[in-house]
């Protein structure tokens, strides 16, 4: 049985050595799902020529893939469509089952559009033919940036929801009457403390602020 292979990229060019020391770029962990050694080498060579710093691990079975997800913690996955004991479809399904947010790019010799569509539906980020590897470096970086943006957007949404929940909790437990008006002067929100004036918050929804003021004036006479 073939053992997973792990390799490291070449040292960056000397002309950028000083910049590398001052601001070293991240070293990516790239997981290759590939059963043909020469194809894996071609993929790695293309990435090295684009000055992408990385370490890679090459696997081709279900068990080795799961092990690599746990102990290698890949930043991105590059996968052939089919191997003797494993397929890209199975790999994508495992990623979904484990809720892993890892960019996944199909790198295959197959030119079938059905293959590409099937993988994209399951969450693959891009589809690269082995005959046209020149596009691989930019596709890899774009996929990683997309996932990074998605994670930041998700964190922002969660933070906003928590802020809104905290704000709503403060309002609903406040003794003062707090309300939010729409642009036409009708109520969009009224805090529960309005019950102290004999109103229910829901009965004021969509009504004008003037109607509340009129009732208050009438009650105060």
* Matching residue, tokens 């684009």: 50
Query: Which has more confidence, 200 or 145?
Result: 145
pLDDT level of residue 5 (50, 70, 90 thresholds): low
Element (H, E) at 169: helix 136-172
Q: Model confidence over 172-200: pLDDT tens digits?
A: 666 677 777 787 878 877 878 777 777 77
Confidence check: pLDDT of 48 > 70: yes
CA distance 176 to 190: 11
pLDDT given at position 7: 58
pLDDT at 158: 73
Q: pLDDT band at 18, cuts 50/70/90?
A: very low
Task: For residues 87 and 109, give the distance between their C-alpha atoms in angstroms, rounded to a whole number.
Answer: 14
Could you tell me where in the chain the CATH 3.40.50.2300 domains are found?
Answer: 5-155
With CA atoms as reference, report the closest residue to 31 among 92, 85, 84. Answer: 92
Domain 5-155: top CATH class? alpha beta
Grade residue 6 by pLDDT with cuts at 50, 70 and 90. low
Q: What is the mean pLDDT of the chain?
A: 80
| 94-142 pLDDT tens trace | 998 988 889 999 998 876 778 888 888 888 999 999 988 999 999 999 9
The angle, 0 to 180 degrees and rounded to 10, between the axes of the packed helices 88-97 and 113-121 is 10
Of residues 167 and 62, more confidence is placed in 62
13 pLDDT above the threshold of 50: no
What are the structure tokens assigned to 29, written together? 């962990």
For residue 73, what pLDDT band results from cuts at 50, 70 and 90? very high
Tell me what the mean pLDDT of segment 25-48 comes to: 92
**Average pLDDT, stretch 21-40?**
83
pLDDT for the residue 110: 72
Q: Rounded distance, CA 2 to CA 201, Å?
A: 69
Selected residue with higher pLDDT from 158 and 49: 49
State yes or no: pLDDT of 43 exceeds 80. Answer: yes
Which carries the bigger pLDDT value, residue 15 or residue 77?
77
* pLDDT score, position 16: 47
pLDDT bucket at 26, cuts 50 / 70 / 90:
confident
pLDDT for residue 200: 79
């Amino acid at each position: 049985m073939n053992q997973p292979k792990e390799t490291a990229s070449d040292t960056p060019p000397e002309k950028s050595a000083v910049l590398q020391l001052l601001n070293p770029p991240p070293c990516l962990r790239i997981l290759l799902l590939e059963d043909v050694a020469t194809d894996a080498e071609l993929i790695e060579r293309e990435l090295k020529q684009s000055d992408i710093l990385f370490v890679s691990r090459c696997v081709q079975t279900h068990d080795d893939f799961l092990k690599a997800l746990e102990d290698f913690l890949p930043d991105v996955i590059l996968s052939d469509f089919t191997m003797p004991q494993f397929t890209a479809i199975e790999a994508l399904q495992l990623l979904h089952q484990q809720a892993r947010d890892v960019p996944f790019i199909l790198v295959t010799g197959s030119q079938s559009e059905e293959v590409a569509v099937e993988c994209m539906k399951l969450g693959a980020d891009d589809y690269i033919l082995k005959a046209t590897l020149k596009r691989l470096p930019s596709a890899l970086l774009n996929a990683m940036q997309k996932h990074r943006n998605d994670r930041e957007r998700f964190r922002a949404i969660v933070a906003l929801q928590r802020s809104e929940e905290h704000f709503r909790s403060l309002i609903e437990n406040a003794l003062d009457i707090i309300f939010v008006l729409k642009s036409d002067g009708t109520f969009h929100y009224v805090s529960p403390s309005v019950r102290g004036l004999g109103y229910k918050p829901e009965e004021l929804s969509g009504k004008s602020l003037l109607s509340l003021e009129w009732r208050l004036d009438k009650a105060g006479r």
